[in-house]
Structure 1
Amino acid sequence: MGTTERGLRAYIGSFTTAGGAGLTTAAVDPGTGALTALHTTDVLPNPSFLAPSPDGRHLYAVSETTDGTAAAFALTPEGPAPLGPPVPVGGADPTHLTLTSRHLVTAHYTSGSISALPVRADGTLGGLAAVLRHEGSGPRADRQEGPHAHAVRADPSGRWLLSVDLGTDSVRCCTLDPASGTPAVHAEVRLRPGSGPRHLAFHPGGAFAYVINELTPTVTVCRWDAATGTLTPLGETRLLPDAGDAPGAPETFPSALVLSRDGRFAWAANRGHDSISVLAIDPSDGHATLVGTVPCGGHWPRDLALHPGGRHLYAANERSGDVTWFTLDPHTGLPVRAGSLAAPAVSCVVFA
């Protein structure tokens, strides 16, 4: 069943080991963007990150546990229904996933690797196809003693995979063999030592990519060349006003980044500072300028999600246990708080 038949739904992932419900399904008000919880299921431990299929019929989740797995669900009127048992991903603590070239690719924080699982025509997952292990470290001994793959994303052309590693301060541009599911490193791009890259988002025009850094409150602006698979860092933009990381201020760990559909704005979540940064994007050179910050509506915003219509922004506030939604000013990009839904230990929000 697709979105048209059942209406738009939000799917919310949370940490079951911290009191979360697992997977929560919520109705989305078509006018206000408000969320209303419909049902929950805890069949998968710690479904911390989710990805819907392009047709909206299936949902995929990682299980962020030591014995990492991924699972497929059919999206039914009664909620996500498991499509077979969870499948091992060959890595510890998977934190992210993406769908590309008929495969589900997952990133594993603790083991510092990515892996690929085939996605069958009926949406079910096949067994582990291949694992690519990262190597290296960074200058911060407490967080960068080794590789920590935090996110993996397919580029807009579908030709490349970009694996973001917090532990090695780098992004690996990879190919993925569509037949075997084997990922291979095409190039490794080094970012500023100690920056701790966490997630990456592409500009809708495809020419730029933005890497949010967890260990410093910045976003690295990059040029992206899909013809050659080349990522070129251009500079960094601070995510906090000058007083945001002054002595005595809470330490800030940025987490998530989304861009507007027209590419004019980007929004970044800041854990610790508990804010959302608003960035204005220059379409000519991709440069990002900090417009300002607004409170995230809770504590420890782990994820941000943009409504498919682009009118509303959602913050998954992990430690306060809520999803807060905002109405976006189309001229300034500034979010205005509109409501919230209780969601203990929330980690992710997607729409289908």
Structure 2
Amino acid sequence: MARETSKTPIPILERFRSRRALASRFRLGPAPLAGAALLCLLISVLYLALQIRTIFSDQLRQEYIALVLEAVERAESARNMVGVWQRLPEGSDARSDGYRHARQELAGRLASLAAVVNASPSGAPQVPPSALSPDSDPGSTDALLGSVSAYWHAQRDIVSADVRVRISHVANTLIALGALLFGMLFTALAMYAKRTRQLAGRSHKFEHAALHDAMTGLPNRRKFFAMLEEAAASPSADSVLHRIAVLYIDLDGFKRVNDSLGHRLGDEFLIAVSRRFRDSVRQGDVVARIGGDEFAVLIGSFSTDAELGEIAQRLIGCVSQTDELMGTGLVRASIGIAIFPDPIEDYRRLVAAADETMYQVKRNGKNGYAFAVRAN
């Protein structure tokens, strides 16, 4: 009886000792805990950096989408104006001229929209060249504008929702790991700096695509107006009267190049003449493609009106040389010149005044230039 009692506790003691050994084997000391905390911190910082980088990238996409939607609104406004003129009774010269001008304006707006949409780095549906003709079917134009507007509004909603979700994730992560992140602040900043440099590269691509014409590489309408405002606000320190000028250029006969010789040759013509425009002006002057076959040159400083006339002659020569070298025999140039502050007192009207003057040149025989005068 006593012998059996002495043997009973042995298995229980052995099990207890084995459990203690197992627990001591998996017990975490300070070093493993610190390593685990550091690993969690690094993972969290990386996650935050990636999320913030994506948020910045999405914000740039939102700006680009806003630019596209702005171009859509302008094209829709031009399309509505065509409809207004179309509904007027036929037979009057005013109606005919107004309708033709509205169709030309619509074609320019569609060309601007196509340049922005087709330059999208995100692989968005392209605007077909057939939609850019001034004689395109109004129904097809309405369908095109509707599909482009719907697609980019959907993209804006998707990007906005993605930004909200990512911001929420970032906020929750910061709350959960605030104390740990504060202790490792310099490490987090070092890792974030690397990703900021990567984001800067992407930001530059988006910015360039948003502010430059994809085909010619020239500044677009948005960039041109920003540079015009900067030139008007920063007069030369050594000049008594700061004057700036805008030369608005329209390629006469260019539509016939696209219609008879094809859009490919038309694109090559625009690229070639854009290169000659840049080479013919001074380094400080700005050449921009406003849309379609319309260009603008910003002259930041000049001495006399005759100097502007010489520049206009060189630009007309650029078009003639390009036309001769490419063998089209169709294209010339009409140029309107507007000067601030005399006679155009508001620099914000420079482009419009130069545009109006250019149309006067076209009505008076084309292939020349004229200066804008003060409005009565």
Query: TM-score if structure 1 supplies the norm length?
Result: 0.27
Q: Which has the larger radius of gyration?
A: 2
Q: Which has the higher contact order (CA 8 A, sep 6+)?
A: 2
Give the strand-richer structure, 1 or 2. 1
